[in-house]
Amino acid sequence: MATKGRSLDLLERFQLAQARAGSVPYITIIGLMVVTPTDLVQILAEMAPNIDELMRIHPILVAGIDDTDIRRPKWRPNNDNPPFETNDPMVHPIIESGVFTVQSIAQVAEAEEAEAQGFNLANGPLWRIGVYELGNQPLSSYCVALTVHHIVTDNVSHISVDFGKDQNRIVERLEALGHQIGTVHSVLHTAAVVALAAAVATGNDTFDTIGTETPKSLRSEDRNHPRIGGNYTGMVERSIPLAKLKSETIASFTKKTNSYIHSPEAESDARSRVGEFRLMPDRIIPDSWKARLTERGTSENPFRNSLMISNLGRFQGRHIPGLEKVWFCHASMPWGAAINMDVVSLNLRQPSDVSGRREARLAVMVSWLDGAIEREVIDRFCAALVRVVNLLARAGGAPNLDRHAMRARNLQDLVN
């Protein structure tokens, strides 16, 4: 695709804008090996020709980007004569030539984050492989880290979640369940955390923490900026140890999430994570993003989160034609997480019934990065999400006694 010098698509342009704003979107995958130094040299020597073949087959791996200062940036093919090639046979354009000693995997992530800041958008390469020796291990332990700019990622797949025949009543019932403990979004956040815990519990990997992010508007309503619109949004992060699910009820977990998302601390958190985009008209602090990058580089936990949930809110039916022009509206950042869950509720066009109630359809779109997330995990996540959301909705439509009983249930009970 890059050989034709095509224009960047919207996802790629978004990632380019993030990079030029001082917050480079990238992903790092770290593998651990226990081998002798001689075997390590042999492994790296075997990797080099395979990487060369990959660059030959996939031109985007050697491409750069032209016209980054205008609205129509495009890929510039470099496959015939990559500008980053060297005549030195001992130096590979992708594999770092030296082996650096670190004391922890966290330091590997910090070093790779620093290297990602130096990716050359104009010339490439936009990916690299670094090799590190763990100095605190008794044996010869090495980390091999693959870091890729998110402009050069796998495709993003997406599916729509079907909640069944009662989907037009789900929003109303979730609102009832969340009365005095949280908004519909906070209840859905609880359902998504439970669903992801259920999805990974049956997989081959072992996870001890789930991270979530939810968009929050960084412009205040008193400046006539809409709560549910505009592209000045930041991410509010939550880190949930899976062990905590055993001690939290639906009510306590949802209430804590809802209280934090709507707090001044959450807004400050969201502003601190979006590079120069955090410099709103009411806050001019030149070069503050540089301090943020430095802070990220020395963080004990520089890793991206696992799950994002958007907050598109509820739209009236008459607004639908205009939504075709919306590019970024409280949607999850497409590169920041492995799984994205876009949520929107639409008030249906039919008049209200005799009780004054208007039905609202719940729509959820789940997207993920191919190659990073297996489809089986997504299938398990979606199935668990449908099960948990319908369970919560049925309780929301039940008498008060049943509703309170559901709120008091332990989260781990819903995972199992």
Task: Tell me the per-residue pLDDT of 238-265, one tens digit each, with 9 for 90 and over.
Answer: 888 888 888 999 999 999 999 998 888 8
- CA 233, CA 184: separation in Å to the nearest integer? 19
Q: Which residue has the tokens 């993920």?
A: 368
pLDDT tens string 68-124: 766 678 887 776 655 566 666 667 888 988 899 999 888 998 899 889 888 888 888
Do 156-415 and 2-152 fall under one CATH topology? yes
pLDDT tens string 280-311: 444 444 444 445 445 544 554 433 334 555 55
pLDDT at 385: 94
Q: What is the mean pLDDT of the chain?
A: 75
- Asked whether the predicted pLDDT for residue 331 surpasses 80, the reply is no
Q: What is the three-class DSSP state of 326?
A: coil
Handedness of CA 52, 20, 130, 86 (dihedral sign): positive
Give mean pLDDT, residues 267-281: 58
Q: Please state which of the ranges 135-144, 208-217, 391-400 shows the lowest mean pLDDT.
A: 208-217
CATH code for the structural domain at 156-415? 3.30.559.30
- CA 209, CA 76: separation in Å to the nearest integer? 40
pLDDT tens string 339-374: 778 776 655 545 555 455 556 667 787 877 666 677
Give mean pLDDT, residues 63-69: 77
- Asked whether the predicted pLDDT for residue 415 surpasses 60, the reply is yes
- CA 335, CA 151: separation in Å to the nearest integer? 9
The partner residues of 106 in beta bridges, in order of sequence, read none
Strands 95-102 and 74-76, sheet pairing: unpaired
Domain parsing of the chain, residue ranges: 2-152, 156-415
- Asked whether the predicted pLDDT for residue 37 surpasses 70, the reply is yes
Strands 156-160 and 360-369, sheet pairing: antiparallel
Distances in Å between the Cα of 202 and the Cα atoms of 24, 93, 111, 195, 381 are 33, 40, 33, 12, 11
Residue 358: half-sphere exposure toward Cβ, Cα within 13 Å: 12
pLDDT at 124: 80
Give mean pLDDT, residues 208-237: 66
pLDDT at 67: 75
Phi/psi at 269 (5° precision): -60, -45
pLDDT at 327: 37
377 — pLDDT class (breaks 50, 70, 90): confident
- Asked whether the predicted pLDDT for residue 198 surpasses 50, the reply is yes
The residue ranking higher by pLDDT, 380 or 283, is: 380
User: Whole-model pTM above 0.75?
Assistant: no
The residue ranking higher by pLDDT, 413 or 78, is: 413
Give mean pLDDT, residues 399-411: 93
Instruction: Assign domain 2-152 to its CATH superfamily.
Output: Chloramphenicol acetyltransferase-like domain (3.30.559.10)
Tally of CB atoms within 10 A around 320: 11
**Do 235 and 336 form a contact (C-beta atoms < 8 A)?**
yes
pLDDT at 223: 56
The residue ranking higher by pLDDT, 232 or 394, is: 394
